[in-house]
């Protein structure tokens, strides 16, 4: 049974989500403020977190950032009444995997959860799969989410890490921006494809050597490739 942490201060909404998720077979725990929600998030294992943006004690973006400092893989869906592009991008940049705007249909939230679990499963190695990806002097240890360049550990955000894993799992395959957006962010987030360009730049800044060619090549008018 998957364990969900719901961090939401609107009592009626939190109760509604809790009941619906329990009905769907999830084990749920509810927290009504950011500080206690963060403590719960860090104190136990969760399969996903539903996180409100506007919370008392500690706002959702700060909660998300602090969770990501210690756990880069747990799926987080941010729930908010704010729907501007800046709000969506800020929520995703803080480490959220998806973003859903109030009011929403519970069916949509359930679908987004299932999509996140599918992406997590796709990035999780099975016992029959290799747990290490290599490209030149880059090494990714999938089970520990550790990235190394030679003997140096490279610190990446969850989004940068997921992007690198996709590239290193598809050496010599040109990946369009739409494909990368779907695999790393999911179409349901409503994020524009130029966000892919921004994160490729972030990733290059961390893994490339100055005055040398990039590990990730730009294919003009199409997307990117590692080769």
For the segment 28-33, the average pLDDT, to the nearest whole number, is: 95
Q: How much is the pLDDT for 50?
A: 96
What would the pLDDT profile of 81-130 be if each residue is shown by its tens digit? 876 667 667 777 788 888 888 888 999 999 888 888 887 776 655 545 55
Range with lowest mean pLDDT among 69-78, 187-196, 214-223: 187-196
Q: Is the pLDDT of residue 54 over 70?
A: yes
- 30-39: average pLDDT: 95
Which residues lie below 8 Å from residue 213, measured CB to CB, with a gap of 6+? none
Q: What is the pTM of this model?
A: 0.58
Domains along the chain with CATH numbers: 3-123 (3.40.50.2300), 132-226 (1.10.10.10)
When pLDDT is cut at 50, 70 and 90, the band that residue 144 belongs to is confident
Average pLDDT over residues 35-57: 92
């Amino acid at each position: 049974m998957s364990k969900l942490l719901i961090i939401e201060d609107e009592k009626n909404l939190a109760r509604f989500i809790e009941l619906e998720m329990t009905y769907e077979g999830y084990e749920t725990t509810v927290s009504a403020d950011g500080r206690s929600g963060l403590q719960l998030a860090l104190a136990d294992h969760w399969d996903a977190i539903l996180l409100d943006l506007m919370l008392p004690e500690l706002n959702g973006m700060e909660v998300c950032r602090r969770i990501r400092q210690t756990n880069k893989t747990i799926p987080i869906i941010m729930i908010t009444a704010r729907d501007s592009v800046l709000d969506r991008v800020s929520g995703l940049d803080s480490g959220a995997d998806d973003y859903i705007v109030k009011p929403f249909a519970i069916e949509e939230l359930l679908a987004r959860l299932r999509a996140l679990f599918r992406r997590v499963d796709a990035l999780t190695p099975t016992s029959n799969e290799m747990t290490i990806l290599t490209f030149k002097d880059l090494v990714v240890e999938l089970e520990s989410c550790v990235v190394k360049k030679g003997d140096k550990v490279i610190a990446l955000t969850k989004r940068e890490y997921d992007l690198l894993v996709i590239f290193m799992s598809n050496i010599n395959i040109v990946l369009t921006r739409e494909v990368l957006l779907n695999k790393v962010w999911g179409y349901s987030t409503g994020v524009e494809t130029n966000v892919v360009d921004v994160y490729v730049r972030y990733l290059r800044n961390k893994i490339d050597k100055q005055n040398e060619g990039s590990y990730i090549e730009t294919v003009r008018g199409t997307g990117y490739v590692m080769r």
